[in-house]
Amino acid sequence: LKSSNYDGIILATGAVPAVPPIKGLKEFYWTEFLEDNQLPKNERVLVIGGGLIGLEVASKLVDGNNKVIIVEMLDEIARGMEMIEKVLTIKKLKEKKAEIFVNHKVLEVSGTRVYIENGDKIKEIYIEDIDKIVVATGMKSFLPFKSVGEIPIYIVGDANKVGKAQEAIHDAYELAVSL
């Protein structure tokens, strides 16, 4: 890019999953289980993150007769989800015997054992025999580079700030109009 003569570069590189620094976390999944051909069956699956993506994945996992455990740092799951969808999703998860830990965070993964603690750090507990782990803790901007010599760089969409598709389209439009 440096050797080319550009008037400017628009970076619209999107976002990637934000993976928290959890000791021992090496192998994990993200949204792969939303595809039917990827859905595990009859396994114990830990879902780290109880937001919109985490709940959607957990809901799909219980359909595969999986034992689902959700660990969410905040005091509620499905924050930001539309109310009726939230009520129905939580009802389904409870009917399918999903375990839900709010105000908890994952400290460490050691083999098939996962250590978690509550937000008040009162006690540490562990969950055994975990077959798979899903990390659904949000997204972060993906910026492969921030500068290329003297060429101006314009960052739009999720690369600039993770948000909704409509916002990204609006940002890109506003930039295009201003150039």
Beta-strand ranges (E) seen in the chain are: 9-11, 15-17, 44-48, 67-71, 99-101, 104-110, 113-118, 124-127, 132-135, 139-141, 153-155
* Tens of each residue's pLDDT in the chain, 179 residues: 666 778 889 999 999 999 999 999 998 888 887 787 888 999 999 999 999 999 999 999 999 999 999 999 999 999 989 999 999 999 999 999 999 999 999 999 999 999 999 977 767 788 899 999 999 999 999 999 888 888 899 999 999 999 889 999 999 999 999 98
Give all domains of the chain, ordered by start, each with its CATH number: 9-14+140-178 (no CATH), 21-137 (3.50.50.60)
CA distances from 17 to 14, 139, 151 (A): 10, 4, 29
CA 40 to chain centroid: 19
Query: What six digits make up the tokens of 5?
Result: 């003569």
Cβ–Cβ under 8 Å, residues 99 and 68: yes
